[in-house]
Amino acid sequence: MEGTRDSVGAGGPELPSQRPEPAAGEGRAAHRRALASRYALLPLRLFLGVTFVYAGLDKLADSHFLAGRGDLQSFYAQTLYARSHSPVGWALEPALHAPTFFALLIAFGELAVGLGTLFGLWGRVAALGGATLSLTLFLTVSWNTTPYYLGNDLPYLMAWSALLLAGTPYLSVDGYLARRAERDRARGLDEHAVRRRSVLDGGIAAVALGGAGLLAGSLTATFVRGKPKPVALTPSPAPSAGASPSGGASGGAAKVSVAVADVPVGGSATVKDPSSGDAVYIVQPKAGQYCGLSSICTHAGCTVDPPKNGQLSCPCHGSKFDAATGAVLTGPAVKPLPKYTVTKDGDRLDLGAQQS
């Protein structure tokens, strides 16, 4: 007995009654850490969901996006430019043959991906759709962005990859269906019946959510989208024999010009560069001061909007340029818009050569 007492007193095995109880504070801290770990991807999921819902509705509300071939800011014009600069330009041919179908497919695809992500319905499928859209935009719109980290489509692709791996198991329809399936198994329901019920109810929820998205998108396109303002591409009559066409090109190319009255102070008129076919804005930032600015954003090749309040804004990634000089006011673009000389000839403004 004495030896037994010595062994206990000398640090032998602890009796259950002698073990210290965990502190209440430690338990709460562990609970908070577990909670934070569980919902770590929730802010990312909310951001991606809201952003893609907004992007889809914004496209459907944009008067230019579905305008067709005659609009320099349309889906067709953006795709046409991307085809010549993308490593997968050959894959864009179907979109050029059916631009309205593919434009609507992208807009409603973004809307479906966003809603699925927000509500956590078929979360991995929604994440796969978002990753596919982001990869497509990276290979087309953002491919020529230098350095690469100034483009936003690659970070979106990486963000979708995280949700593709994790899914949407918490605060979601997926999580509710999974918990209900566990309860069904616990009460002895056949596994086939459990899966069938989950798939059926998930499909019903998908149809309901898809119908709501389709209705919201259709109402946006019908009642919010305005009519695009016509954009004039106005080459003047061909020059007389022996005259050199504007821009320094030789041969029979038509000289490109617009009427002075079509270019108000602070406004612009749109013409085409005869050598490249790119749209050029002839602007009058101050009374009597004229110049030409390329409409192609130097960041990722999107078409910038016509000048407004002394600036030209890129609708794709938010770059802003000075309407008088083409200089970058706000990134991610780092290079100014190419500038053209403009010469006044009576009541006409002639587009000259692109300045180096």
Tens digit of each residue's pLDDT, the chain (356 residues): 444 444 444 455 555 555 555 566 677 888 788 888 888 899 999 999 999 999 999 988 888 788 776 666 788 888 887 887 788 888 888 888 888 899 899 999 999 999 999 999 999 999 999 999 999 989 988 887 777 777 788 999 999 999 999 999 999 999 999 999 999 888 888 888 888 988 898 899 889 988 888 888 888 888 877 665 544 444 444 333 333 333 333 334 467 778 878 888 888 888 887 776 778 888 888 888 888 888 888 777 777 888 888 888 887 777 888 888 888 888 777 888 888 888 888 888 888 877 75
What residue type is assigned to position 108 of the chain?
A: F
| Cis-peptide, bond into residue 332, ω within 30° of zero | yes
Q: Is the pTM of this model over 0.85?
A: no
Domains identified in the chain and CATH numbers: 38-224 (no CATH), 257-354 (2.102.10.10)
Contact criterion met (CB below 8 Å) for 257 and 292: no
Q: Which residues pair with 312 in a beta bridge?
A: 321
Provide the β-strand partners of residue 258: 349
Return d(Cα 182, Cα 177) in angstroms, integer: 9
Q: How far apart are CA 126 and CA 168, in angstroms?
A: 10
107: Cα separation from own chain's centroid = 10
